[in-house]
Amino acid sequence: MPPPSPASSAARAASPDPTPSMAPARVPAQASPSAAPPDPAPEQHLRPCLTELRLSAFAGHRRAAFPLGTVTLFAGRSGSGKTTALRAYEALARLGGGAPLGEVFPDPVACVPERARPDAQRRRGFRIGCTADGPEGPVRLDVAVQAEPELRVVGERLSAGGVVLLETALRDPGRRTVQAAWHTAGSAPVTRAPLPDDRLGTALLPLRVAGKTDGQRRVLAAAEQMVVALRSVFACDPQPDWMGAPVPTGTGRLLGGCDNLADVLWRTREECVRRHAQLVGALAAGCSRPVTDLLAVPLGDGTVRALLDRGDGTRTELARLGYGELRYVALALVLLTGPGVLDLDTAGEVPSAMQTLTLLADNLDRGLDVRQHAELLRLAVRMAERGHIRCTGAVGDASWAARTRGVTVVHLDP
């Protein structure tokens, strides 16, 4: 019998379940069959995007695989793991952007399944992964992370078309490196080199692979597809308590809490008249009183305040809106803007036409009424059909969205 691969051994050491492979067993995600997304336009296939999230062993999830469509809603009762799934998605996105493990997982032990038993070396960990589709076809990434006694990557696998393109394993626990081997298909079948154990190896490959052989070019293409798909993620949770106050003019890039919304409006209202008109139309459909414009006005002290124009000479400060209306305004703005307006680190070397922004929104339905649910969902589907944005959110009850074409509903049970 051949010996197990290094990455498989590392995965077992980090996993609460001694499974023989980093690839998780699939379980039904209970995606709503009536919510199949429409066929994407041909040019959308050129934009890398995540199509599956895998939580092999992560907090309350084991051996789970969730489909990701252009608009995906994780639905379930409190404690069913909706927020956990989005947290794993965001963690992968940050790792894809080159962030170190310590920043991505400030409390790594919380990510370890509750009943996970340590191995003989007192090691415990977790495993997550995803699939990114694009010009190279489906590309899989699986990562095993050790949380105790030290936080480190102990196994990583990048594969496409049944070929393992990158595999890493922890060989010497005394060194802060993992042994990496990537596909070469030249005079030597693989190239081996050490990589840091606190970073995602896939994100480092463009700096390490020369691209001289067909095999190396395939590795580069797959790694770049995965990194582009992961980096274009904007995690957003609007905080109405912060949104109504005047804010200083600054970069004009929207923060995840949307507290600088007025500054963004000050920039974007004149930059893109057509998108702004669409935003006003969305607000008119979702707000309780008439809306004819949304604008930001300077206050003379270097700050700006956002106002709704009611069309009858009345201008309403955002602070006077209800909690749900403020969240609705912020989420509609995000869906109608682009990466250049949002505070995220996109792949600057890749043209924006080749990227798809993903809005990641926990508690997407918090504070919204039935009409706002429907209008926001229609806006998300309409923008997703154009190929420039995708939306993944968590809701308590998705019955209002289950039959909407273009929406994938993933039902979770505690």
Tell me if 129 sits within 8 A of 140, measured CB to CB. Answer: yes
Give the residue from 29, 11, 132 showing the smallest Cα distance to 412: 29
Same domain, 48 and 129: yes
With respect to residue 104, please indicate whether it lies within any of the assigned structural domains: yes
Q: Is residue 96, in this structure, part of any structural domain at all?
A: yes
Higher pLDDT residue, 39 or 302?
302
Cα 119 from Cα 141, distance rounded (Å): 25
- The whole-angstrom separation of Cα 248 and Cα 269 is 17
In a domain, 412, yes or no: no
pLDDT of residue 161 exceeding 70 = yes
**pLDDT the model gives residue 187:** 66
**Residues 119 and 262 both lie in one domain:** no
- Within this chain, do residues 227 and 246 fall inside the same structural domain, yes or no? no
Phi, psi of 45 (to 5 degrees): -65, -15
Residue 300's domain comprises 242-343
Helices and strands per DSSP (H, E), number in the chain: 10, 17
Tokens of 119: 């191995």
- Strands annotated E in 236-319: 247-248, 293-298, 303-309, 315-317
Structural domains of the chain, count: 2
Query: What is the reported pTM?
Result: 0.87
Q: Give the whole-angstrom CA distance, residue 254 versus residue 235.
A: 11
Rounded to 5 degrees, φ, ψ at 69 are: -100, -170
Greater pLDDT, 17 or 73 = 73
Q: For residue 4, what are the contacts with CB-CB under 8 A and spacing of at least 6?
A: 20
Residue in 94, 138, 126, 69 with CA at minimum distance from that of residue 227: 94
Contacts of 198 (CB under 8 A, 6+ apart): 100, 101, 102, 151, 152, 153, 176
**What tokens were used for 105?**
């997982």
Residue 360 within a domain? no
Regarding whether 263 and 223 lie in a shared domain, the answer is no
Which amino acid, residue 199?
A: R
How many other C-beta atoms can be found within 10 angstroms of the C-beta atom of residue 349? Answer: 8
| Residue-averaged pLDDT of the chain | 85
pLDDT digit string, tens, across residues 91-141 = 999 999 999 999 999 999 999 998 889 888 899 999 999 999 999 999 999
pLDDT of residue 18: 33
Please write the tens of the pLDDT for every residue from 337-356. 877 788 876 655 555 556 68
Gap between the Cα atoms of 200 and 385, Å rounded: 31
Same domain, yes or no: 188 and 254: no
Shared-domain flag, residues 72 and 196 = yes
Domain limit, last residue, from 321, 343, 365:
343
pLDDT given for residue 215 in this prediction: 87
Whether 36 and 152 map to the same domain: the answer is yes
- In this structure, the answer to whether residues 162 and 259 fall within a common structural domain is no
The residue type of 204 is L
What are 281's two structure tokens?
């139309």
With contact defined as beta carbons under 8 Å apart, do 175 and 159 qualify? no
**pLDDT beyond 50 at 50:** yes
Q: Are 20 and 36 in contact (CB under 8 A)?
A: no
Total Cβ atoms within 10 A of residue 46: 14
Q: Mean pLDDT across the stretch 239-244? A: 89
Q: Are residues 329 and 276 in the same domain?
A: yes
Q: Is 137 left (phi over 0), alpha (psi -120 to 50) or beta?
A: left
Contact 13, 146 (CB under 8 A): yes
Question: Do 58 and 125 reside in the same domain of the chain?
Answer: yes
Asked if 223 and 304 sit in the same domain, the reply is no
pLDDT of residue 410: 95
DSSP 338-394: -TTTBS----TTS-GGG--EEEEETTTTTT--HHHHHHHHHHHHHHHHTTSEEEEEE
Q: Is residue 389 part of a domain?
A: no
pLDDT band (50, 70, 90) for residue 208: confident
In a domain, 404, yes or no: no
Which domain-ending residue is among 193, 210, 232?
232
Phi-psi region of 289 (alpha: psi -120 to 50; beta: other; left: phi over 0): beta
Residue 59 above 60 pLDDT? Answer: yes
SS3 state of residue 43: helix
The answer as to whether 335 is a domain residue is yes
Backbone angles phi, psi at 155, to 5 degrees: -170, 140
Q: Regarding predicted confidence, which is higher, 362 or 341?
A: 362
Report the distance separating Cα 246 and Cα 314, nearest Å.
19
* Residue 364 within a domain: no
Mark whether 227 and 266 lie in a shared domain: no
pLDDT band at 31 (very low <50, low <70, confident <90, very high): low
Angle (CA) 140 146 150, round 5°: 145
| Boundary-marking domain end, from 312, 343, 374 | 343
Token pair 């700096």 in the structure block, residue: 207
- Per the CB < 8 A criterion, the answer to whether 249 and 263 are in contact is yes
